[in-house]
Amino acid sequence: MRVIFCGNTFAAARGLLGQQLPRDDIVTVETERELANCRSVDVLIPLMFRIDAALLRSLRPRLIQQWGSGLEGVDLEAALALGVAVASVPAAGSNTQSVAEHVLLLTLALLRDLPQAQENLRAGILGAPLGRMLAGRTVCLWGLGATALAIARWTKVLGARLLGITREPLSDKAALYGLDGCYQTTAFRQALAQTDILILCVRLNEHTRGLIDADVLSALPQGAFLVNAARGALIDYEALRVALERKQLGGVGLDVYWQEPFPPGDPLLRLPNVIATPHVAGVTDRSYGEIAAAVASNIEHLRRGEPLDHRVV
């Protein structure tokens, strides 16, 4: 099998898949032009590349296998029309746990003003800044899926009050997540008015793109925090920048961006109330080990002509 990784990001993925499939030809292409010139592709792993209809017609891979769950960069209609199978690895197991741990890290870093604490250490200042505890504060999860469930368990253990926003606020869902309040998406203002930390756990689609706009941000109390390790495009960039500069938001923790890789000179990264990491929430040894095993298993299914796991198209 010839397996092509699109781009040089998420470098650990290639080595781990190579361990699972030592006899296959696993290569990396770094640019879209280089990818367009490839021939004889069995499996395409898009990572952060856009796989459009023209590329699909040119390459004709047998399988597009995402390294993870997000397929918003793949033209699924074109894949269906061309008979190209598309599969993902749903968020589950160690991946959801890894993302939950990273969300907790960003949340605690915001509450304890970690950037200022590091500056104070370098300046020889002890006992400052004055941090805030997570215990007793209200965390709101917008979107209640597998990752949100893992986050909910951590935040409850640490003593936070927990709210949820979802399309279907059922009582059994509230009980499963240990919610102190569960609100329908149309009633988001009622939930956000009580929120100290808003954590996004929503899938990106045509309905959720730009979901967190100026109207939503204005519904949060002054100084509230926002954490996003889901998808960058869930947030309106300009609305976020203005809310941070005007101190409507106390700070934001970001692991995902509107463009990836995110330009290192972007003005957002210079703001003191921004804590940013390079899309690493799910990048852990156990999470990637499980994803590599799932991807390798699907490639073996393809080799043997068997049904694919988690096929989308």
Q: In this structure, are 191 and 75 located in the same domain?
A: no
For residues 131 and 267, membership in a common domain is answered with: yes
User: Does some domain include residue 249?
Assistant: yes
Q: With residue 100 as reference, give the H or E element that holds it.
A: helix 93-111
Do 151 and 198 lie in one domain? The reply is: yes
Whether cis (ω within 30° of 0) applies to the bond prior to 129 is yes
Q: Which of 70, 56, 295 is nearest to 205 (CA)?
A: 70
Residue recorded with tokens 């792993």: 45
Question: Which helix (H) or strand (E) element contains residue 148?
Answer: helix 146-157
* Continuous segment of H or E residues that includes residue 165: strand 161-166
- In a shared domain, residues 245 and 267: yes
pLDDT of residue 56: 95
Same domain, 131 and 82: no
Whole-number pLDDT of residue 123: 98
In angstroms, the CA 237 to CA 225 distance is 16
33 in any annotated domain: yes
Find all residues with CB under 8 Å of 41, minimum gap 6, and list them: 2, 4, 59, 60, 61, 62
Write down the catalytic residue from 132, 161, 231, 241: 231
CATH of the domain at 209: 3.40.50.720
Domain contains 44: yes
pLDDT score at 69:
83
Residue 40, in any domain of the structure:
yes
User: Are residues 208 and 125 located together in one domain of the fold?
Assistant: yes
**Domain-embedded: residue 64:** yes
Residues 161, 241, 279, 290: which is the catalytic one? 279
In a domain, 61, yes or no: yes
Q: For residue 178, is it within any domain?
A: yes
Whether 66 and 115 map to the same domain: the answer is: no
Verify that 131 and 216 share a domain, yes or no.
yes
Could you confirm whether 279 is annotated as catalytic? Answer: yes
Is residue 23 domain-shared with residue 83, that is, in the same domain? Answer: yes
Q: How many domains does the chain have?
A: 2
Q: Which residues pair with 151 in a beta bridge?
A: none
Distance CA 26, CA 192 (A): 47
Q: What is the mean pLDDT of each run of 10 residues along the chain (313 residues)?
A: 94 96 95 87 93 94 93 94 96 93 98 97 98 98 96 97 95 95 97 98 95 98 98 98 97 97 95 97 96 98 97 94
Please say whether the beta carbons of 73 and 297 come within 8 A.
no
Question: The domain containing residue 41 runs over which residues?
Answer: 2-88+284-304
Q: What is the pLDDT of residue 266?
A: 97
Please indicate, yes or no, whether residues 55 and 166 belong to a single structural domain of this protein. Answer: no
Measured distance CA(127)–CA(142) in Å, rounded: 35
pLDDT of residue 52: 94
Could you tell me if 226 and 125 lie in one domain? yes
**Known active-site residue 102:** no
Cβ-count burial 129-140 (b if 16+ within 10 Å, e if not): eeebebeebbbb
Domain-located, residue 312: no
The predicted pLDDT at position 163 comes to 98
pLDDT of amino acid 155: 97
72 counts as catalytic: no
One domain, residues 229 and 265: yes
Exactly one of 260, 301, 310, 311 is catalytic; which is it?
260
